[in-house]
Amino acid sequence: MNKKIPSRKRAPKKAQPNNRHKRKRHHFIAAWVRSPMGMGALLPSSRRLAKAMVAEIDTDKSGAIIELGAGTGVMTHALLEAGIPPERLLVIERDPKLHATLVTQFPDLTVLCEDAVNLQELLTTHKITKVCAILSSIPFLTIPKPVGKAIQEQMARVIDKDGLVVQFTYGIKSPISKKQLESCGMYAKRTKMVMTNVPPAHVWVFRKI
Ligand SMILES: C[S@@+](CC[C@H](N)C(=O)[O-])C[C@H]1O[C@@H](n2cnc3c(N)ncnc32)[C@H](O)[C@@H]1O
């Protein structure tokens, strides 16, 4: 009797979530080597932090949602998972290599390889006149102070009167100083602490006075 010899061929390997996670970490660390201060952290944000940030956004409000410093796309993924339509999102990342991986990951999104310091100009170019939320991972504690201030001033100028800025920080204090908040006409509220993020992170929300 002819016995069927089991095939030794293995099914092609699917990209496992774990591999994806490792690849993201690799991209992040490589970007950190290129610019430690520009990255502001040694590891990507956790999914729990991303969910906590996105939960601050009222997705029923009209207007665009802008992500600044998208890095490996953890927050971008959480924004899409929350049901935000791709056409409402504009994603900005300065690092060209991270930008390239974002474009591959999110082919339906507008992902710009730009500096957030040009925020207002970029919104004008993309004909965005109403912004209901900005979700920012910009590491304000490590980037040059004048650059940080210029970004913060523009964030305050472009958000709608009842819009908000969501930002995380590893510090205990607000990542936007009291003086700067006053001059931008905003107020701050710390809303959450995500202990499981490495390192633990605080979520802050900024609104117009
Ligand atoms: C803390 S890391 C990214 C965090 C991201 N949530 C993640 O987990 O991958 C900060 C990101 O902001 C980007 N970034 C820093 N300064 C920027 C700027 N001025 N304009 C745009 N992106 C900037 C960095 O390249 C980096 O990808």
Give the tens place of pLDDT for each residue, 39-91: 888 889 999 999 999 999 999 999 999 999 999 999 999 999 999 999 999 99
SS3 state of residue 97 = helix
In a domain, 108, yes or no: yes
3-state secondary structure 121-188: HHHHHCCCCCEEEEEECCCCCCCCHHHHHHHHHHHHHHEEEEEEEEEEECCCCCCCCHHHHHHHCEEE
In a domain, 48, yes or no: yes
In a domain, 3, yes or no: no
Give the tens place of pLDDT for each residue, 131-172: 999 999 999 999 999 999 999 999 999 999 999 999 999 998
Whether pLDDT at 6 is above 60: no
Q: Which residues contact 158 (CB under 8 A, 6 or more apart)?
A: 66, 119, 120, 123, 131, 134
Is 199 exposed, middle or buried (CB count within 10 Å of its CB: 0-12, 13-18, 19+)?
exposed
Instruction: Tell me, using a 6 A CB cutoff, whether residue 112 lines ligand 1.
Output: no
Distance 15 CA to ligand 1 centre (A): 25
Q: How many domains does the chain have?
A: 1
In a domain, 183, yes or no: yes
Amino acid at 120: Q
Q: Which residues contact 91 (CB under 8 A, 6 or more apart)?
A: 66, 67, 70, 76, 102, 106, 109, 110, 111, 112
- Mean pLDDT for the stretch of residues 21-30: 87
Residue ID of nearest Cα to ligand 1 atom 10: 39
CATH of the domain at 93: 3.40.50.150
- Average pLDDT, rounded, for the chain: 92
pLDDT of residue 207: 97
Residue range of the domain that includes 101: 18-208
- Asked whether 75 and 45 are in contact (CB, 8 A), the reply is yes
Amino acid at 114: E
Matching residue, tokens 């201030």:
149
Residue 9's pLDDT band (boundaries 50, 70, 90)?
Answer: low
User: How large a percentage of the chain has pLDDT more than 70?
Assistant: 92
Is the pTM value of this prediction over 0.95? no
Instruction: Tell me, using a 6 A CB cutoff, whether residue 139 lines ligand 1.
Output: yes
In a domain, 1, yes or no: no
Give the tens place of pLDDT for each residue, 186-195: 999 999 999 9
Which tops the pLDDT comparison, 93 or 18?
93
Retrieve residue 21's tokens.
């996670």
In a domain, 74, yes or no: yes
In a domain, 5, yes or no: no
Highest mean pLDDT out of 9-13, 35-39, 172-176? 172-176
Task: Please say whether the dihedral angle defined by the alpha carbons of residues 74, 75, 81 and 84, taken in this order, is positive or negative.
Answer: negative
In a domain, 189, yes or no: yes
pLDDT of residue 66: 98
Instruction: Tell me, using a 6 A CB cutoff, whether residue 148 lines ligand 1.
Output: no
Instruction: Tell me, using a 6 A CB cutoff, whether residue 56 lines ligand 1.
Output: no
Distance 31 CA to ligand 1 centre (A): 10
Instruction: Determine if residue 63 is left, alpha or beta; phi over 0 gives left, psi from -120 to 50 gives alpha, anything else beta.
Output: left
